[in-house]
Amino acid sequence: MGERGANAVIKTTTARVQPPKGLSRRGREYFREIVDGLRPDHFADCDIPILANYVKCVFTLEKIQRQAEKEPFTLVNNHGNIMKHPIYAVLKEYLSTLTTLSSKLRLNPSSRYQATQAKLLNKKAASKRDFLNE
């Protein structure tokens, strides 16, 4: 029988998450690039669908941006009013989605910030006057 309590050994795995089958070849490569660029334990299996959607969103956003570069920024509607091209609303929506997904996946620095770590680092930081006590 295995150990219990403080003597118990918890088996952990450092295997990195793998891309799902539904991604394109380019998508799988980008998925692996993201995963390999972070600690092995950064993602859990439950993050796979979110990360896959993030990758799809990145590639869709690239297509929208290429299309937006070809379109004029403004259009004249049927009433003669000047309005922003609708593609820019789509672009804004995808940028918002991408930002949300990156935060959920802890890909941007502010989403990795932990107040408890900041307090520990702050306590370890030397004061300007510490040299006087030496």
Q: What is the DSSP string of 76-123?
A: E-TTS-EEE-THHHHHHHHHHHHHHHHHHTT-SHHHH--HHHHHHHHH
pLDDT of 10 above 50: no
Three-state DSSP class for 38? coil
5 within domain boundaries: no
- Examine residue 87 and state whether it is found in any structural domain, yes or no: yes
Give the E-state strand segments of the chain in sequence order.
74-76, 82-84
Q: Is 92 within a domain?
A: yes
DSSP 1: -
- What three-state secondary structure class fits 74? strand
pTM of the shown model: 0.70
Instruction: Please tell me the predicted confidence (pLDDT) of residue 124.
Output: 54
129 part of a folded domain: no
| Within-domain flag for 11 | no
Residue with the two structure tokens 């692996």: 32
Token code pair at residue 97 = 């989605």
Q: Among 25, 30, 21, 91, which residue's Cα sits nearest to residue 55? A: 30
CB 98 within 8 A of CB 57: yes
- What residue numbers bound the domain in which 21 lies? 16-107
Number of domain units in the chain: 1
Gap between the Cα atoms of 39 and 35, Å rounded = 8
pLDDT of 14 over the 90 cut? no
Residue 31: inside a domain, yes or no? yes
Task: Tell me whether residue 1 is in a domain.
Answer: no
Specify if 131 maps to a domain.
no
Q: For 47-99, what is each residue's pLDDT tens digit?
A: 999 999 999 999 999 999 999 999 999 999 999 999 999 999 999 999 999 99
